[in-house]
A and B are shown apart, each in its own frame.
Chain A
Amino acid sequence: MTTAPAKAGWRFRQPSVIPGFGLTLGFSLAYLTLIILIPLSGLIWRSAALGWADFWAIATDRRTINALEISFGTAFIAAAVNVVFGTIVAWVLVRYSFPGRRIVDAMVDLPFALPTAVAGIALTTLYAPNGWLGSLLAPLGIKVAYTPLGIVIALIFIGLPFVVRTVQPIMEEIDKEVEEVAATLGANRFQTIARVLLPGLAPAIVTGFALAFARGVGEYGSVIFIAGNLPYKSEIAPLLIVIRLEEYNYAAATAIAAIMLALSFVMLLVINLVQTWSRKRYG
């Protein structure tokens, strides 16, 4: 197991009296390679082997494009909703004291702990035309279950803790002196929040958005029950991968997966740049 790349002398690592470097790094690398790296590079290898013409045909297939649009579009909307409400939730949890605050705080992590399939069937039951919320919305002409709106609802559920848990610790560290200064200098409360506090929180909010968005794009379990899964209308990209796999169309499944990975990667890169920019500007 010891694939010790570093014995004494070599500057690959700085010298240390603590033992076990070769063993632990060797084991970690071997495990990482076997479980993550080899399978993932298999995906890349398979999609590269497809050839450009085949890949392009799958990528530009109407059904593929629609599925990707639905996945990225709904994830974007849900993450945006979570940015607004997640920031408010975090603010209330950090700044206000009320009975049961600890319990409400713990509840925010429910989407991390609740299996996605359970969330999926619960939300579907809730928003189905005869469900508790669905029956209230039906007279207003709003259909949630089995429509793209249902996907957004499921992704709001899944993404909420990402925003709250990213913004909350930064809010806790805000120095109240800053607010006092702003108030002394004549800012009203709204101005203080909009022009002094929010810019400082911006990098955290962007990070929370990115995490919620990334999770939403790939989400499967909580979505497929409520989505209705109509091709071209409410079929998400991960589901299309599963459908292609069930048709033994490995090529299409692989290509869609590769596109999803590439798009997510580009999105995260852009968001990283935005984050660096906002940190420089407001940091």
Chain B
Amino acid sequence: MADPEIKSYALHHESQSAAVTESRPAKAVLMIVTFAFLGIFLLLPLIVVFNEAFAKGLSAYTEALTNPDTRSAIHLTLLVAAISVPLNIVFGVSAAWAIAKFEFKGKAFLTTLIDLPFSVSPVISGLVYVLLFGAQGLLGAWLKAHGIVILFAVPGIVLATIFVTFPFVARELIPLMQEQGNGDEEAALSLGANGWQAFWYVTLPNVKWGLLYGVLLCNARAMGEFGAVSVVSGHIRGLTNTMPLHVEILYNEYNAAAAFAVASLLAGLALVTLVLKTLLEMRYGAEIAATRGH
């Protein structure tokens, strides 16, 4: 997206001449607009979450979080992330290796297909599995005959989560590995390393921060996914309720304090993700690909 030709780092020091900055009042207006907009749209919702979570006191908060249904929702969310994130890491690394290290026909098309889940509504991401595995689904009768339960159970939730988090690792690694080229690996191979050693001792150390960055975003989405999981989960309390779904149930039961207590855990996860992400960008910016937009 960026035009590589317009880069002149020499000019990046701040030149404060009036000709290339706004007047003081204009500057002030733009800053106020920015702070007001971000304050209202980003900061206030975040404050509301914690404010409502503790609205009925600390004991109500801890009680909401130690409730057995809440605990089973936390367990399920961790379980789903623990399965889907590693699978997407394996896929992301493998796809990045094939796409970044080789030139082959249809590469651009394959890259587009990997990004596909980002342009599909989460509800549709869930729906496709209902159409496949549901009672009226294409495989529904066969699954029932063999006693395999996918929908309204953990496997369905895992599948829907994998679907929506599918591109995160791959799209972080592909541009990064393309940028780094094949030189290091070729050197390792010519010095007698086998392919696996070249990957483990050369490629992986080169991309580890970019990989971590992708995993971070992938994990945040996996634990927070709502729409896709909602469609395939069946909302069975204590069994197929993930944390976001549990938030919905509690909220719809007018148990706002408990809903926000669980929500505060998810908001905490989001904040931790943001802090780690920012630290990665600050310390290893150059080693994370130039792609920031998701």
Chain A positions within 8 Å of B, measured between CB atoms, are 6, 12-14, 16-21, 23-25, 27-29, 31-32, 35-40, 42-43, 45-46, 85, 88-89, 91-93, 95-98, 102, 104-119, 121-123, 125-126, 131-133, 153, 156-157, 160-162, 165-166, 168-170, 173-177, 179-180, 183-184, 189, 192, 203-204, 207-208, 211, 214, 217-221, 225, 237-239, 241-242, 245, 248, 250, 253-254, 257, 260-261, 264, 268, 283
- Residues on B with beta carbons closer than 8 Å to the beta carbon of A214: 119
User: Which residue on chain A has the smallest CB distance to residue B106?
Assistant: A12
Question: What chain A residues lie within 8 Å of B49 (beta carbons)?
Answer: 118, 122
- B226 CB to closest chain A CB, in angstroms? 4
A46–B129 CA distance with the chains assembled, in angstroms: 12
Q: How far is the CA of A27 from the CA of B92 in the complex (A)?
A: 11
Instruction: Determine, out of B1-9, B64-72, B141-149, B204-212, the stretch whose residues face the partner at the interface.
Output: B1-9
Q: Are A110 and B46 in contact (CB under 8 A)?
A: yes
Q: Do the beta carbons of A20 and B199 come within 8 Å of each other? A: yes
Whole-angstrom distance between the Cβ of A171 and the nearest chain B Cβ: 11
- 26 A-B residue pairings within 8 Å (CB atoms): A6-B104, A18-B185, A18-B189, A18-B195, A19-B194, A23-B94, A29-B110, A35-B166, A42-B131, A91-B30, A106-B278, A115-B225, A115-B270, A117-B247, A118-B247, A118-B267, A121-B259, A131-B48, A132-B44, A165-B294, A180-B19, A204-B1, A207-B1, A218-B124, A238-B121, A261-B120
Smallest CB–CB gap between A203 and chain B, Å?
8
- Identify 15 new A-B residue pairs, CB closer than 8 A, beyond the known A45-B138, A115-B266: A21-B102, A106-B278, A107-B43, A109-B274, A110-B274, A113-B273, A115-B243, A119-B45, A123-B45, A162-B294, A169-B292, A183-B19, A221-B226, A241-B123, A245-B127
B166 partner residues in chain A, CB cutoff 8 A: 35-36
A102, B131: Cβ atoms under 8 Å? Answer: no
Contacts of B61 in A (CB 8 A): none
Q: Does B11 contact A (CB under 8 A)?
A: yes
A133 touches B101 (CB 8 A): no
- Residues facing A in B29-59 (CB within 8 A) are 30-31, 33-35, 37-38, 40-46, 48-49, 52
Asked if residues A217 and B159 are in contact (CB atoms below 8 Å), the reply is no
Interface membership of B85, Cβ < 8 A:
no
A217 and B121 form a contact (CB under 8 A): yes
> Contact string, B174-212, partner A, CB cutoff 8 A, digits 1/0?
000000001001100110001100110000000000000
Closest residue on chain B to residue A174 by CB atoms: B6
Given contacts A39-B132, A98-B31, A248-B136, contact A260 B124 (CB under 8 A): yes
Fill in one digit per residue for B74-105: 1 if any A CB lies within 8 Å of its CB, else 0.
00000000000000001100110110011111
Cα distance A241–B126 when bound, in Å?
A: 11
Q: In the assembled complex, which residues on chain A have CB atoms less than 8 Å from the CB atom of B19? A: 179-180, 183-184, 189
CB distance from B9 to the nearest CB of A (A): 10
Contact of A113 among B123, B186, B220, B230 (CB under 8 A): B220
Distance in angstroms between the alpha carbons of A112 and B294 in the assembled complex: 8
Is the beta-carbon distance between B34 and A122 smaller than 8 angstroms? no
Residues of chain B within 8 A of A118, CB atoms compared: 49, 224, 244, 247, 263, 266-267, 270
Contacts of A108 in B (CB 8 A): 38, 42
The answer on a CB contact under 8 Å between A113 and B274 is yes
Contact A221 B227 (CB under 8 A): yes
Partner of A238, one of B41, B119, B123, B267: B123
The complex places the Cα of A29 from the Cα of B106 at a distance, in Å, of 12
Tally of B interface residues using CB under 8 Å:
112
Partner of B256, one of A18, A125, A204: A125
**Residue among B31, B52, B128 making CB contact with A125, cutoff 8 Å:** B52
**Would B224 and A116 count as touching, CB distance under 8 A?**
yes
B267 to chain A, nearest CB (A): 6
- Known pairs A36-B163, A39-B128, A175-B8; A242 contacts B45 (CB<8 A): no
Q: From known contacts A89-B37, A125-B52, infer whether A220 and B122 are also in contact, taking CB-CB under 8 Å.
A: yes
Report which of B116, B119, B217, B244 forms a contact with A112, defined as CB distance below 8 A. B217
Closest 5 pairs between A and B when the two form their complex, measured CB to CB: A218-B121, A115-B224, A183-B19, A13-B104, A19-B195
**Contact in complex: B244, A221 (CB < 8 Å):** yes
Q: Which residues of B sit under 8 angstroms from A184, Cβ to Cβ?
A: 19
